[in-house]
Amino acid sequence: MSSNTITLIFCLGGLTFLVNWGFLMFFYFKDNSNNLRNTLTLIKTLLLCLIVSTFGVLVTGILFVSALMFSHG
């Protein structure tokens, strides 16, 4: 499998992650807007969600590409 294919898979995964994360944040803040009283709490919540989501996307991407490489030789 070529390097371009792997790069494309990671780019599509990143795009999917950004869209999914945007929807999740929209619905989270829509329902919990009264819990975020100041800017510091908002920034802390966004950064925590971003770090957890980024770690999950990277691990899933590595597992997916590894499985793809294993199945295609």
* pLDDT tens per residue across span 34-73: 666 777 877 887 788 788 888 877 887 788 778 877 887 6
User: Does residue 24 have a pLDDT over 70?
Assistant: yes
pLDDT for 56 equals 79
Is 48 or 28 the better-scoring residue by pLDDT? 48
Interatomic CA distance for residues 27 and 59, integer angstroms = 25
User: What is residue 1's predicted lDDT score, i.e. its pLDDT?
Assistant: 61
Contact 18, 73 (CB under 8 A): no
Q: Is 38 left (phi over 0), alpha (psi -120 to 50) or beta?
A: beta
Interior CA angle at 70 toward 2 and 1, to 5°?
A: 10
**Rounded mean pLDDT of 18-40?**
75
